[in-house]
Structure 1
């Protein structure tokens, strides 16, 4: 007997990405969660910015960075983006860089209580169910 899988597709979502100084990501994820983000992925990277290239005798200095990825509903994107920006002091040179990317669709397991919450609270439900 073939097992039927149900796929929940997120369609009205945005990806917020921030590149920050090493050790700063956990604080910024906490700030994002305070205003509604559900979670985040954190990756480690090496990078160079304008500030690092102006080092001693013009030598480039490698810097350890953290890359934060957060998927949020498009309705939440501005609020979460602004909270991360303020918590991360992005108005200070060298603190990081961030952007928002619209996501056409994404899929993952979404607990039923989260689906119910969005169906009840939002006039635009970012989730749709598809049987496969």
Structure 2
């Protein structure tokens, strides 16, 4: 595949399934979900930071260039990423990918 893109989305634990469902509905062929633990702002907030769960779900979605905008927008909407503290998403331009159907 030439000119593929990789969408990476980091969301609160428990939100990944609905984000992946929205991505697939928008044209993605699948996704990989794995778990992580966030650090940084939680520690800086002190006592108030106790209410931020450090457990995160990381979603990787490889898309064809023509599907990327629709899938990215679906991910942002499903994860409510415009709201502060909900997570974030970013896009990588890949040179090549193999094994993608």
Considering the TM-score relative to the shorter chain, is it more than 0.5?
yes
| Aligned positions of 1:36-75 closer than 5 A | 36-50=27-41, 52=42, 53-56=44-47, 63-75=54-66
Larger Rg: 1
Q: Which residue of 2 aligns with 1:6?
A: none
1:19 to 10, 15, 20: 10
Q: 1:14·1:101 contact (CA, 8 Å) conserved in 2?
A: yes
In structure 1, runs of 5+ residues without a counterpart are 1-9, 111-132
RMSD between aligned alpha carbons?
1.9
Shift of 1:57: 7.3
Instruction: Look up the SS of the partner of 1:37 in the other structure.
Output: coil
Asked whether 1:33 is paired with 2:16, we answer no
Q: 1:49·1:94 contact (CA, 8 Å) conserved in 2?
A: no
> For 2:2 and 2:13, how far apart are their aligned partners in 1?
32
Number of aligned residue pairs: give it: 99
Determine which structure has the larger strand proportion and give its number.
1
Shift of 1:48: 2.2
Shift of 1:55: 3.4
In structure 2, runs of 5+ residues without a counterpart are none
TM-score by length of 2: 0.88
Task: Decide whether aligned partners of structure 1 residues 106 and 55 sit closer, same or farther in structure 2, where only a CA change above 3 A counts.
Answer: same
Runs of 4+ with deviation above 2 angstroms: none
